[in-house]
Structure 1
Amino acid sequence: MKAARYYGNRDIRIEDIDAPAVEPGTVAIDVAWCGICGTDLHEYLDGPIFVPEHGHPHPISGESAPITLGHEFSGVVAELGEGVDDLQVGDHVVVEPYIIRDDVDTGPESHDYHLSPDMNFIGLGGRGGGLAERIVVKRRWVHPVSKDVPLDEAALIEPLSVAYHAVERSGVSAGQVALVGGAGPIGALTAAVLTALDVTVIVSELSELRRQRVLDAGVAAHAIDPSKVDVVEEVRRLTDGRGADVAFECTSVQPVLDTLVEALRPTGVLVIVSIWGKRAEIDLHKVVMKELDVGGTIAYVNSHPATIELVESGKIDLKPFITGKIGLDGLVEEGFDTLINRNETAVKILVSPSGEGL
């Protein structure tokens, strides 16, 4: 089968490799669509980061580069391993792409398995990836999705789960006002989750295309250009002088972080969603004097079922966030290059490993 293999910094190769074999307790999935994540771009430009360097195998997967990329994907069940009796061949599914030690509690009451030692991700730390024609995954990480949800849209459920977990961590409730810093993929999807939960969303974003996209998608009530408008003053105007109840930092840009701290009301909540590759500064005096709660969030934990329900119920429409579809052979030139050099023009570019659907 064809697969995108990560060898190292700026070295991704489309190769023919053996299809994985089904083992007891696993599910074989024919991949329909796989999204290109910002993490994949970081691996390409600055890595290896999550990918175990060649000769240094990951302690759980036992694999090192080259590995197959891709962790945001949907597909169709192709084969069931022994002991898997609650799925059927032909079911539509998405994957919660974790690599976690077998002795970690990943049950429905767990709130921290995603923070366990040596955690990594399918498609980064080994165990196959969504940028291949087929993958075999442990049953625990496979989530069925209604066939009423198109498979291309289902591929966005993984990043949508990131947004859902961030919103859940914030404690925001219906009727409150949220300020989202940045309308890239995660910022836009965070806005979508907030809107689905009846939160009023204000987005701050430099790109006119991205501002218009969240407005057209109906996931933001207001979209502000911080180069032309004082975001803090505009938020205060829109909230009768109070400020935002919650804010989500989705850019890893210092001025955005500073703006969010200023725009929050006293006792507001700031959630850091983006991955920062450098040390950030925060005005702790303002945090103290406003009694702000500041927290971080990473990935998701038992978030997929509720996220899938939002999509299946129609409360979130993922179609507006799909901005491109390509084949595996165009991964770097058409996919990575666009997202690195013209990222304001795209939200989510999907890859069809088999070429079907293009």
Structure 2
Amino acid sequence: MRAARYYGRGDIRIDDLPEPEVTPGTVGIDVAWCGICGTDLHEYLEGPIFCPQPGQPHPTSGETLPVTLGHEFSGVVYAVGEGVDDIEVGQHVVVEPYIIRDDVDTGPESTDYHLSEGLGFIGLSGRGGGLGEKIAVQRRWVHPIADSVPLDEAALIEPLSVGYHAVQRSGASAGDVALVGGAGPIGLLTSAVLKALGVTVVVSELSPLRRQKALETGVADHALDPREVDVVEEVRRLTGGRGADVAFECSSVQPVLDTLMEALRPTGVLVVIAIWGHRADFDMFKLVMKEIDTRGTIAYVNSHPPVIELVESGKIQLTPFITGKIGLEGLVDEGFDTLIHRNETAVKILVSPSGRGL
């Protein structure tokens, strides 16, 4: 089979690999679609970050570079290993792409397995990835999804789960006003979750395409261009002078962080979703004087089942966020290059590793 393998900064190659072995307790999946994530771009430009460097095996997967990339993916079950009796060949599935030690409680009541020591990610830390034609995944991390959900949409359930967990961390509820800084894929999908909960959403974004996408999909009530509008003043106007109840930092850009801090009401909640590759200049005086509650959020924890329910019920529509589809051979030139140098022209680009989806 073919797979996109990451060898190090700026070095991705399409390799021919043996198909994975479907061992006891695992599920063999024909990958249908895999999204390109911002984390993949960070690895390409600045890494290795999450990917294990040569000579430093990942503590749980035991693997080092090269690794197969891709952690936002959907597919169809082609085989089940011994002991797997609740998934059938032919079922549509998505993957919660964790690599977690066997002694960690990952049960339905856990709220912290995503923070466990030695954690890794399929598609970054080893054990295959969604940018390969096939993959074998432990049953715990495989989630069936209704055939009524197209497999291209299903590939967005992983990033949607990131937004869902961030909204959970914020404590936002119906009637609140949220300011989302950055309308890339995570900002838009976080907005989608907020709208599904009855929150009024204001998006701040430079890209006209992404602002339009936020409005035409209905995930934002207001989409502001910070070059043309004083975002803080507009949020205050929209809230009767009070300010936003919650804010989500989805850009890793300093002026966006500053704007969110200023636009929040006293005792408001700031949630940082973006992975910052550098230190931020944080206004501690404003944090103290407004009693801002600042929270980090990473990935998801037992988020996939409720997110799948939101998608299957039709409360969140994912098709509008897919702005490109490519084959594996176009991964760098058509996918990475677009998202790195012309990211204002795209939201989510999906890859068909086998090419059958094109």
Q: Normalising by structure 1, report the TM-score.
A: 0.99
**Cα distance in 2, alignment partners of residues 90 and 115 from structure 1:** 33
The reply to whether residue 20 of structure 1 matches residue 20 of structure 2 is yes
- Identify the residue that residue 157 of structure 2 maps to in structure 1: 157
Note the C-alpha offset of 1:234.
Answer: 0.2
CA distance in 1, matches of 2:45, 2:291: 38
2:57 pairs with 1:57:
yes
Q: 1:243 is matched with which residue?
A: 243
Report the counterpart of residue 172 of structure 2 in structure 1.
172
Paired residue for 2:115? 115
Residue in 2 that maps onto 1:322:
322
Once the two structures are superposed, residues 36-81 of structure 1 have per-residue CA deviations (whole angstroms, 9 ceiling, x without a partner) of: 0011011111111111112321111111111111000000011000
What is aligned with 1:33?
Answer: 33
Name the structure 1 match of 2:69.
Answer: 69
CA RMSD, Structure 1 to Structure 2 (Å): 0.7
TM-score normalised to structure 2 length: 0.99
In structure 2, what is the equivalent of residue 7 of structure 1? 7
Give me the whole-angstrom Cα distance separating, in 1, the residues matched to 2:21 and 2:355: 22
Q: Residue 197 of structure 1 aligns with which residue?
A: 197
CA distance in structure 2 between the partners assigned to 1:336 and 1:282 by the alignment: 31
Sequence identity (%): 78
State the AA in 2 paired with 1:296. Answer: G
AA at the equivalent of 2:56: H
Equivalence for 2:45: 45
Shift of 1:267: 1.1
- SS of 1:75's partner is strand
Note the C-alpha offset of 1:273: 0.5
Distance 1:12 1:56 in 2: 19
Shift of 1:286: 1.4
Q: d(CA) in 2 for partners of 1:70 and 1:195?
A: 28
Q: For residue 140 of structure 1, what is the aligned residue in structure 2?
A: 140
| CA drift at 1:195 | 0.6
Runs (5+) with no aligned partner, structure 2: none
Q: Deviations over 1:122-157 (max 9, x none)?
A: 000000000011000000000011111000000000
Q: Deviations over 1:265-315 (max 9, x none)?
A: 111100001011111122122112211111100000000001111111101
Q: CA deviation at 1:209?
A: 1.2
Residue type matched to 1:292 in 2? I
Q: Post-superposition, which runs of at least 4 consecutive aligned residues in structure 1 deviate over 4 A?
A: none
**Separation in 2 of the partners of 1:340 and 1:233?**
31
Residue identity matched to 2:335: G
Aligned to 1:279: 279
The answer for unaligned runs of 5 or more in structure 1 is: none
